[in-house]
Amino acid sequence: MDERPQEVIRRAAQLASQGLSSSAVSLIEPLPAICRGQPALMSNLGSVFSMCNAFEEARNCYEVAANGEPSNPTYLYNLATAQRALGLLTEAEASCDRAIGLNAADAQAYFLRSDLRVQTPERNHVAELEALVQRGALRPEARVLALYALAKEYEDLERWDESFESVKRAADTHRSQLRYDVGDDIRILDRIVQAHTADALGRMAPGHRDAAPVFVVGLPRSGTTLVERIVQSHSGVISVGERIDFAAELSRRIPHTSRSRRPSPDDLVDLSLKVSAAELGASYMARVTPGRDGAGARILDKMPINYLYCGLIHAALPQAKILSVRRHPIDSCYAAYKAYLTGPYAFTYKLDELGTYYQAYQRLIDHWRAILPPDAYQEVWYEDVVRDPARASRQLLQYLDLPWQDSVVAFHASNAASATASAAQIRRPIYSTSIGKWKRLRHQLAPLMSALGSTVPAEDRP
């Protein structure tokens, strides 16, 4: 190899950040054998493999890095993230323990470790976390992580008020560091409803006719990972995980009317209707399945925020299936509020903003349900899946034209990787304890319920 490994890794990371995972992996595949004696490079390789959802390769790289420099807590933490994605939860906890042993202020390791299992009165880290939070030397974001970890462990121990207070302290701290106006997001959602009408979408030229794609969309923590795992456990389905491919291809193809001015978000909503639907669909498929000949397995894309693009997805891929996952609005919002979500989810850190955003989301989802054909767009309720997994799984497979397989109701036994916020939970059999959890915190959630307004079912209103 003529090029220095550092440069190859840098180029691969750029490709991965653009969603070009296959190209990135192809570029760095030879490097682990070359870089084995260099822990820093092996860790960097692991990071790129992780960005590409190649977690087995990432784990191998991180293990070499950690073994080569066992006193480096960062390498151990990175190893734990890959182990968690692969379902190696006991090993991940051990790696976190080792990282914390080397750096008692490693808030990332505490945060990850708390999520790996349900904590019990006999076995938990509450005292450690309380001591960590009380330290004055923690940076704000490290304190945020520690508070979220403490909230999760309090909740496991059914210390509901303490859990909520820790969540609120974490969310308030994080929100104070963001430059964000929820009104901007709401305006875009409403603009999509106004512009992406059935007539406007119908005027786009015919899309790419490939029946393989399945899109799972929904608010974060609404049950999208659960639905993904059930469907992915079928032998006729391949999940590509949470990827930006559709949005990236759409952005690449939107015509720019002026070189001197970048289109505003409102402009982008309107300009997206001018793309070639067939080219968008074909280029999307080329990104998620390079080299595919157009036949074979269903391809499942679980990027939750693709709910913004359901109309364009149908226009670009008219034979695709969209599974829109829903959940009781208060449970849905509270689950998002108490998670530490990065990326496009700044609306989840204040209860009133979260409720206001949910109302706009509801308007958008109502719009898609009204204008998209039922053979292309189907709502799936989290509560239905949890209460009767076998029945819900049969309905999912029937909708996707897939024959029944018993493996879908034993999804928790699957060894498929997952890097989502629910990566540890989906390793357990389905449980119903998350349904109605908000009822223990009615008083604290009053700002959320007020902002949710009429989206709250009548029987749950104050």
> Do the domain assignments include residue 415?
yes
> Do the domain assignments include residue 110?
no
> Do the domain assignments include residue 109?
no
255: left (phi over 0), alpha (psi -120 to 50) or beta: beta
Q: Which residues lie closer than 8 Å to 404 by C-beta, 6 or more apart?
A: 394, 397
Sorting pLDDT into bands at 50, 70 and 90, what band is 336? very high
> Do the domain assignments include residue 108?
no
* Weakest mean pLDDT among 126-140, 286-300, 303-317: 286-300
Alpha-carbon span 132 to 148, nearest angstrom: 12
Asked if the model's pLDDT at residue 419 lies above 80, the reply is no
Alpha-carbon span 80 to 411, nearest angstrom: 22
Give the DSSP H/E element, type plus range, for residue 238. strand 237-241
Alpha-carbon span 65 to 75, nearest angstrom: 6
Report whether 56 contacts 29 (CB < 8 A).
no
343 and 228 co-located in one domain: yes
342 and 276 co-located in one domain: yes
164 and 204 co-located in one domain: no
Alpha-carbon span 114 to 170, nearest angstrom: 15
* Weakest mean pLDDT among 126-140, 205-219, 305-319, 323-337: 126-140
> Do the domain assignments include residue 148?
yes
39 and 164 co-located in one domain: no
> Do the domain assignments include residue 159?
yes
Tokens (6 digits) for 239 = 């999940």
239 and 312 co-located in one domain: yes
Question: Exposure of 64 by Cβ count < 10 A (0-12 exposed, 13-18 middle, 19+ buried)?
Answer: buried
The last residue of a domain, from among 44, 69, 103 = 103
The stretch 272-287 carries a mean pLDDT of 95
Asked if the model's pLDDT at residue 295 lies above 70, the reply is no
296 and 150 co-located in one domain: no
The stretch 171-197 carries a mean pLDDT of 96
Kindly compute the dihedral angle of the four CA atoms of residues 123, 128, 133, 136, in this order, to the nearest 10 degrees.
180
Alpha-carbon span 153 to 121, nearest angstrom: 10
The residue type at 349:
Y
The stretch 295-319 carries a mean pLDDT of 93
227 and 332 co-located in one domain: yes
Question: Exposure of 181 by Cβ count < 10 A (0-12 exposed, 13-18 middle, 19+ buried)?
Answer: exposed
Sorting pLDDT into bands at 50, 70 and 90, what band is 173? very high
163 and 269 co-located in one domain: no
The last residue of a domain, from among 103, 125, 149 = 103
56 and 154 co-located in one domain: no
pLDDT digits (tens, 9 = 90+) for 193-234: 999 999 999 999 999 999 999 999 999 999 999 999 999 999
* Weakest mean pLDDT among 69-73, 167-171, 175-179, 454-458: 454-458
Q: Helices in 196-240 by DSSP H: which ranges?
A: 198-202, 224-232
Of 151, 108, 461, nearest to 335 by C-alpha is: 151
User: Cα Rg for the chain, rounded, in angstroms?
Assistant: 22
The residue type at 429:
P
CATH assignment of the domain containing 9: 1.25.40.10
Residue ranges making up the domain that contains 149: 115-177
131 and 280 co-located in one domain: no
Q: Could you tell me the CA-to-CA distances from 379 to 173, 192, 197, 237, 449 in Å, in that order? A: 35, 19, 19, 19, 23
Report whether 272 contacts 316 (CB < 8 A).
no
Q: Which residues lie closer than 8 Å to 21 by C-beta, 6 or more apart?
A: 15, 51, 52, 53, 54, 243
Q: Could you tell me the CA-to-CA distances from 281 to 116, 217, 270, 319, 418 in Å, in that order? A: 38, 17, 18, 11, 25
Give the pLDDT confidence score for residue 255 in this predicted structure: 78
* Weakest mean pLDDT among 175-179, 307-311, 341-345: 341-345
Say how many CA atoms lie within 13 Å of 238 toward its Cβ: 9
286 and 142 co-located in one domain: no
The domain tally of the chain equals 3
The stretch 285-296 carries a mean pLDDT of 69
> Do the domain assignments include residue 210?
yes
**DSSP code of residue 461:** -
304 and 394 co-located in one domain: yes
The last residue of a domain, from among 177, 198, 215 = 177
> Do the domain assignments include residue 305?
yes
